[in-house]
Amino acid sequence: MTELLPTQDVDEVNPISAEVTDDSSVWGRLFPLRKKLPFIELTDETYTFGRGEDCSFTFCASMFDDPNQYATFSKHHFKVFQETSYQGKLMFIQDLSSNGTFVNGTKIGRGKKQPLNNNDEISLSLKHLKCFIFCDSNSEQNGFPPEVTSRYTISKLLGRGACGEVRLVFERGSCEKRAMKIVQKKTFSITAKLGNGFLNRIKSEVDILMKLAHPCIIYIYDVIDTDEALYMILELVEGGELFDRIVQLGQLSEQDAKFLFLQMAIAVGYLHEHGITHRDLKPENILLANNENRCLIKVTDFGLSKLVDGNTMLRTFCGTPTYLAPEVLRTAGSGTYTSAIDVWSLGVILYVCLVGYPPFTEERKDHDLQTQIVQGLYDFPDIYWKAISEEAKDLVRKMLTVEPSERLTIQDVIQHVWFDDLAIRTDVHELLNKARTAGLAMGRSEALPKPSAMLTEDKAPVDDPVVNGSPPQSISSLSKAPSQDDETVLHDKSLARKRPADEDFPVLTKRLTA
- By the 8 A CB rule, do 236 and 321 touch? no
Give yes or no: residues 161 and 130 share one domain.
no
Angle at 33 between CA 32 and CA 37, to 5 degrees: 45
Instruction: For residue 457, tell me if it sits in a domain.
Output: no
Closest CA to 453 of 432, 484, 481, 474: 432
Give yes or no: residues 125 and 163 share one domain.
no
Give pLDDT tens digits for 265-282.
999 999 999 989 998 899
225 counts as catalytic: no
pLDDT at 33 over 70: yes
Mean pLDDT of 459-479: 48
- What stretch of H or E contains 223? strand 220-225
pLDDT at 511 over 70: no
- Report the DSSP pairing between strands 78-85 and 46-50: antiparallel
Percentage with pLDDT > 70 across the chain: 72
Buried-state track 428-441, b at ≥16 Cβ within 10 A, e below 16 = bbebbbbbbbebee
Give yes or no: residues 47 and 108 share one domain.
yes
- pLDDT at 358 (0 to 100): 96
157: pLDDT confidence band, cut at 50, 70 and 90?
Answer: confident
Which CATH number goes with the domain that contains 124?
2.60.200.20
Give yes or no: residues 310 and 409 share one domain.
yes
| Residue 184, strand partner residues | 229
Residue of 197 and 467 predicted with greater confidence: 197
Query: What rounded mean pLDDT belongs to the chain?
Result: 80
494: pLDDT confidence band, cut at 50, 70 and 90?
Answer: low
Domain edge (last residue) among 213, 234, 255: 234
Give pLDDT tens digits for 16-29.
334 555 567 899 99
Closest CA to 181 of 190, 169, 193: 169
Residues 116, 89: Cα–Cα separation, whole Å: 12
512: pLDDT confidence band, cut at 50, 70 and 90?
Answer: very low
Instruction: For residue 467, tell me if it sits in a domain.
Output: no
- Domain of residue 388 covers 242-422+490-511
304: pLDDT confidence band, cut at 50, 70 and 90?
Answer: low
Which CATH number goes with the domain that contains 372?
1.10.510.10
Which CATH number goes with the domain that contains 191?
3.30.200.20
Give yes or no: residues 159 and 212 share one domain.
yes
Give yes or no: residues 43 and 177 share one domain.
no
Instruction: Report CA dihedral (39, 169, 279, 377) to the nearest 10 degrees.
Output: -70
- The three-state secondary structure class of 172 is coil
Instruction: For residue 443, tell me if it sits in a domain.
Output: no
Domain edge (last residue) among 136, 163, 178: 136
| Residue 101, strand partner residues | 124
- pLDDT at 283 (0 to 100): 95
Count the domains in the chain: 3
Lowest mean pLDDT among 297-311, 317-331, 383-397, 457-471: 457-471
- pLDDT at 441 (0 to 100): 59
Residues 262, 106: Cα–Cα separation, whole Å: 38
142: pLDDT confidence band, cut at 50, 70 and 90?
Answer: low
Helix and strand tally (H, E) in the chain? 14, 20
- With both helix axes pointing from N to C terminus, report the angle between 254-273 and 340-355 in degrees, rounded to the nearest 10: 170
Give yes or no: residues 500 and 379 share one domain.
yes
Domain edge (last residue) among 210, 234, 258: 234
Give pLDDT tens digits for 109-123.
999 999 898 889 999
- pLDDT at 468 (0 to 100): 42
pLDDT at 68 over 50: yes
Beta strands in 51-163, from DSSP E residues, in sequence order: 57-58, 78-85, 88-95, 101-103, 106-107, 113-115, 121-124, 130-136, 152-161
Q: Which of 280, 301, 309, 342 is catalytic?
A: 280
Give pLDDT tens digits for 356-365.
999 999 888 8
Mean pLDDT of 179-204: 68
Residues 147, 151: Cα–Cα separation, whole Å: 7
H-state helical runs in 356-450: 369-375, 382-385, 390-399, 410-414, 422-441
Q: In this structure, which amino acid lies at residue 388?
A: I
pLDDT at 404 over 60: yes
Instruction: For residue 465, tell me if it sits in a domain.
Output: no
Give yes or no: residues 23 and 171 share one domain.
no
pLDDT at 90 over 50: yes
Q: In this structure, which amino acid lies at residue 384?
A: Y
186: pLDDT confidence band, cut at 50, 70 and 90?
Answer: confident
Instruction: For residue 500, tell me if it sits in a domain.
Output: yes
Closest CA to 101 of 137, 120, 77: 77
| Residue 299, strand partner residues | 217, 286
227: pLDDT confidence band, cut at 50, 70 and 90?
Answer: confident
Instruction: For residue 469, tell me if it sits in a domain.
Output: no
Instruction: For residue 213, tell me if it sits in a domain.
Output: yes
What is the dihedral sign for C-alpha 14, 19, 24, 28? positive
Residues 329, 321: Cα–Cα separation, whole Å: 8
Residue of 144 and 268 predicted with greater confidence: 268
- Which residues, 6+ apart, have CB-to-CB distance to 371 below 8 Å? 377
Query: 365-371: long-range contacts at Cβ-Cβ below 8 A with a sequence spacing of 24 or more?
Result: 365/502, 366/502, 366/508, 366/509, 367/509, 369/320, 369/321, 369/322, 370/321, 370/329
Give yes or no: residues 230 and 247 share one domain.
no
Residues 29, 41: Cα–Cα separation, whole Å: 5
- pLDDT at 450 (0 to 100): 36
Give yes or no: residues 201 and 292 share one domain.
no
Q: What's the pTM value of the predicted model, to 2 decimals?
A: 0.72
Give yes or no: residues 293 and 191 share one domain.
no
Closest CA to 494 of 236, 319, 326, 371: 319
Instruction: For residue 434, tell me if it sits in a domain.
Output: no
pLDDT at 257 over 90: yes
Give yes or no: residues 399 and 496 share one domain.
yes
